[in-house]
Structure 1
Amino acid sequence: MKSRTSLIRVQRFQVQEIQRRVADLEQMLDDFRREEEELEKRVRYEQQKAGISDEAHYAYPTYAKYASMRRDNLAQSISELSRQVDAERDKLADAFEELKKVELVEETARTRAKAETRRREQAELDEMALTAHSRAADIR
């Protein structure tokens, strides 16, 4: 029973650890998305300010080029990070399923132990009642 309790603790720890990783990755993903949006706004602003939206134009703003490249890199990072988040969520679902299996086994064992204890107690009470009844019958 003690080994199952330890196993449950380990499983819970694993679930919590994966939950932390998922939360961290999702926070990073949100940060990247906000930064990507901000870069998009900056690119549009620079294009409007210069009056040039063609990146191939010789007078295209340098900062807009840099921001566009950074935005494109962020888009790739967001894509990769999204795959990592999905993979971690799958791991979390698997770990949670394992935890539930172990908890179910523990609960079943506890239920069986309680039933066995109740059965023994009832047998003792029945024995005591039979003894008391036979003593009462002997006295009469």
Structure 2
Amino acid sequence: MSWDESLVRIAGYEVETVRKRLAEIMARREVAEMGLVVLDAQIEAEADFIRSDPVAAFHHPGFLAGCKARRMTLLSVLELVLAEEAGARDALVEAFETQKKYENVADGLARRRVLEAARRDNAELDEMGILRAGRASAGA
């Protein structure tokens, strides 16, 4: 394997690594978002329970304070995950650009190798033609 193929392969590995990291971050974001949805559902369920049992209303302010604290925690986690996701997306774009650069270099080198081989073949054919022409003129 040539050095240019190795660079393309390493760049592809980097893209896959960043892609996996982004998938993990997106999964964490979904967990945080789901936590907010569950919290909202719990608040609704508690409100329904309070409507059916007025005695439970005594504990409702404490429940809401706890929910508010959990919501703040979930929102801060979500904010961090969103920032991390943005960074991972930028890293993925950069990894793709790097991979494309290496692929372009490898393609250029492959084209140059083909052109060089064709040039050598043409030079050999020209040399053989000159030798045959020299033999033909020497024999005549």
Normalised by the size of structure 1, how large is the TM-score?
Answer: 0.83
Kindly provide the amino acid, as one letter, of the partner of residue 104 in structure 1: N
SS of the aligned residue for 1:60 comes to helix
Residues 1:82 and 2:91 are matched in the alignment = no
Which deviates the most, 105-114 or 19-28?
105-114
Contact 1:39/1:68 (<8 A) preserved: no
User: Residues 7-46 of structure 1: matches in 2 within 5 Å?
Assistant: 7-46=7-46
User: Residues 46-85 of structure 1: matches in 2 within 5 Å?
Assistant: 46-51=46-51, 58-60=58-60, 62-85=62-85
Residues 1:106 and 2:85 are matched in the alignment = no
Which deviates the most, 4-13 or 109-118?
4-13
Quote the RMSD (CA, aligned, Å).
Answer: 2.3
Which protein has the bigger helix share? 2
What residue number does 2:54 align with?
A: none
What residue number does 2:126 align with?
A: 126
Contact 1:47/1:64 (<8 A) preserved: no
Kindly provide the amino acid, as one letter, of the partner of residue 72 in structure 1: M
The CA deviation string for residues 35-67 of structure 1, in whole angstroms up to 9 with x for no partner, is 21121111111012213xxxxx75416555434
Rounded Cα–Cα distance in structure 2 between residues aligned with 1:40 and 1:73: 14
Rounded Cα–Cα distance in structure 1 between residues aligned with 2:126 and 2:17: 51
Paired positions, count: 136
Rounded Cα–Cα distance in structure 2 between residues aligned with 1:59 and 1:25: 37
Of structures 1 and 2, the one scoring higher in RCO (CA 8 A, sep 6+) is 2
Rounded Cα–Cα distance in structure 2 between residues aligned with 1:105 and 1:22: 27
Rounded Cα–Cα distance in structure 1 between residues aligned with 2:25 and 2:3: 33
What residue number does 2:3 align with?
A: 3
Kindly provide the amino acid, as one letter, of the partner of residue 122 in structure 1: N
